[in-house]
Amino acid sequence: MELRTDRRRVVVTGCGVVSPVGNTTADFWNALLDGRSGIRAVTRFDTYGLPVRIGGDLTGFDTTGCLTPQEARRSDNFTQYAVVAAVQAMRAAGLATPAGIDPHRFAVVIGSGYGAAIAIQQQYDVLREHGPRRVSPYHSVLTAIDHPAGLLSIKYGISGPSCAVSAACATGAVAIGEAVEMIRHGRADLALAGGTDDSLTAVDLAGTANAQALSRRNDDPEGASRPFDRDRDGFVMSVGATVLTLEEAGHAERRGAEILAEVAGYAATTDAHHATAPDPTGAGAIRAMRGALADAGCVPEDVGQVSAHGTGTVLNDRIEAAALREVLGPDQLRRTPITAVKSMTGHMLGASGAAEAAAAVLSLRDHVIPPVRNCDHPEEEDLDLVVKGAREWDGDVVLSNSFGFGGHNAVLVLKRWTR
């Protein structure tokens, strides 16, 4: 594997996670290694009459120390999750107070698939029940998809590029990839990047269930998310956020930061096929995987682990397996362990790609791969799925896949850091 020396290298120096399996990075990671599920019966609203009544919600979430009470009141859940995750990522990177960091060389890229779904519905109810004078004057701000990025820029005095991206379920990976490009090309030295979503509403559960995309295992929540299992029947809608602190490698080294991993490759493609169904040929996914490997200076034989998109829908898992078969080749595929953390977290939508990138970073750090929960009867017999507990691992390269509605495909290549 030839290292890329012709451009600025980008490394991860901090991770922050808010998820159904834990509201800190440590809790998230420990839950994944233990194979614990965060899927439960939905209790935040009355689910009577809904075809799907399960999801991945947060427990014990607290904004104390991250948002003022006023900021919390004026923020949708998706913003609150992103800010808490970003604060964790900053602290983990040794930047609790970013003194000595050039704010003009600092960027923020926080994406979301659904945005302020809850706040929009709440304000509509206010308008309908109480009239226009009662609608919040902050409505246009708190419901904007760039609200997390804007709030973080104010909180930390970040005056470099800041923006939101949206690419459905690939959003988190795209946000990281685009922030990496900013650093590579000299527009920033440091970035907060990731994804956030909270679309666990009655409307979204009903609509996505009507699209035949969600698991209906209402009586077995923890067994509902079943990537690559023969008995899978759809994904489980979940909430949360993940933010990474990304830095130009030299910048991180000069300030003595611990480098967790390198984001070595990124590619994004579009199927241009269907609003919800993946291209049955997997052509877009294949191009994204090959593009990310080429961007990283890697060949298929270098891949030591795959973090699969693995939603648990029949078509997605089958097409992803076929795409991996095409990209890696049959021999390499058989000896490459594959995990799918949505089996535990559920599908965190715009946050999922970032959460899985964080899991890849932690896997490289700790030399262990989290298991695929609920894959009792694997459909694809040539996949080396990590199904019987966490597995010790000493690889150097993780291929992390994220695919989404609208045909969005984004792939990241995470590598063990070596100078």
Q: List residues with catalytic annotation.
A: 169
Task: Name residue, tokens 């294949």.
Answer: 286
How many of the other CB atoms lie within 10 Å of CB of 118? 20
Q: Are 160 and 393 in contact (CB under 8 A)?
A: no
- Residue-by-residue DSSP string for 311-347: ---HHHHHHHHHHHHHHH-HHHHHTSEEE-THHHH-B
**Helix H or strand E encompassing 240:** strand 240-248
Beta bridge partners of 169: 167
| Tokens of residue 93, six digits | 């990177």
Strand locations in 70-159 (E) = 106-111
- Residue 112's closest CA among 75, 139, 66? 75
Cross-strand bridge partners of residue 276: none
Cα–Cα distance for residue pair 170/168, rounded to 1 Å: 5
- Which candidate, 123, 110, 129, places its Cα nearest to that of 197? 110
Please compute Rg for the chain using Cα positions. 20
- CA nearest to 75, candidates 137, 156, 139: 139
The answer to whether 194 touches 110, Cβ cutoff 8 Å, is yes
